[in-house]
Amino acid sequence: MTCEEMRAEDNVSTITEFVLLGFSDLPNLQWLLFGVFSIIYVIVLIGNSFIIIITRLDAALETPMYFFLANFSFLEICYVSVTLPRILVNLWTQDRSISMVGCATQMCFFLMLGATECFLLAVMAYDRYVAICHPLHYPLVMNHELCLRLAAGAWIGGIPVQIGQTCQIFSLHFCNSNHINHFFCDVPPILQLACGDTWVHEAAVYVVAMLFVTVPFMLILASYSKIISTILSLPTAGGRAKAFSTCSSHLLVVLLFFGSASITYLRPKSNHKAGIDKLLSLFYTIVTPMFNPMIYSLRNKDVIAALKRLLLKKIV
């Protein structure tokens, strides 16, 4: 065994924690970033909580569409809470270390909730497909029992696979460095720290990404191809505008989330650049959850009407 191999073996046994470099390359902006991310976190919590509360309080919003929207808003709160509090702690304390168990836990919850988001967006697209393409059968098809099953399937469907993927990734030997050039424990930057041939693990990541990102996205595209075809066949411009308005918010969230996530997880390992990965990750971990309440409330007449009714009740 060579000296280099002996040192590598030693490093394997000594790595018990990682260091999240995050935004350490911007030393003069640490407090500004802390302030910006704090505001974003508050917006995410308040905005998505508002969606959940108003869909529960207003009887007019007790429909499958808003049932799934409430689930989606709760998911966004959980999703952001996996990464943002850790970012804020790192910026506040400047202590960027994270234990291997902590890193694995963060990655596991991030992947599970990411899978839930993919499935839930596909379920929401199916709901819109039934509502627009088969309006007469909508109450019968999208009954309460089916909605509960679809929501439960979205929440738990990815748990076994993502736990397995996390265990597989953290079974690797990390002998090069323990510095993660990212702001949370994501799959691509962790794989870059592994020594030896990791092509099997990379292939597994691609397979899982195809299953949890590409398949739901294709189902969404299939739903929207039918939806657009139906909308274009409506006889009046008013009917087309109303039908499209119920889908445009969801479609915007889909493009933001799937676009950035697909580029991140379906690129080859050799093409990953830390700066680009961080920027893309900001979109599907922080930007989408922040804009979700604004997209679904400001662009939705039913939500605005429900808010007016709620405010009138408070005034009276």
Low-confidence ranges of the chain (pLDDT < 70): 1-14, 176, 239, 242-243, 245-246, 264-275, 297-300, 314-316
At 271-281, the pLDDT tens digits run 556 667 777 78
Fold topology of 3-315 = Rhopdopsin 7-helix transmembrane proteins (1.20.1070)
pLDDT at 7: 44
Domain ranges (residues) in the chain: 3-315
Q: How far is CA 160 from CA 31, 112, 156, 165, in A?
A: 39, 9, 8, 9
pLDDT at 209: 83
pLDDT at 293: 77
Walk across the sheet containing 179-180 and list its strands: 97-99, 17-20, 179-180
Q: Considering the entire predicted model, what is its pTM?
A: 0.86
pLDDT at 263: 73
Q: How far apart are CA 285 and CA 264, in angstroms?
A: 12
- End-to-end alpha-carbon separation of the chain, Å? 82
Write the DSSP assignment of 38-103 as a string of letters: HHHHHHHHHHHHHHHHHHHH-GGG-SHHHHHHHHHHHHHHHHHHHHHHHHHHHHHH---EEEHHHH
pLDDT at 10: 45
pLDDT at 58: 81
pLDDT at 8: 43
pLDDT at 233: 81
Structure tokens at 183: 């702001």
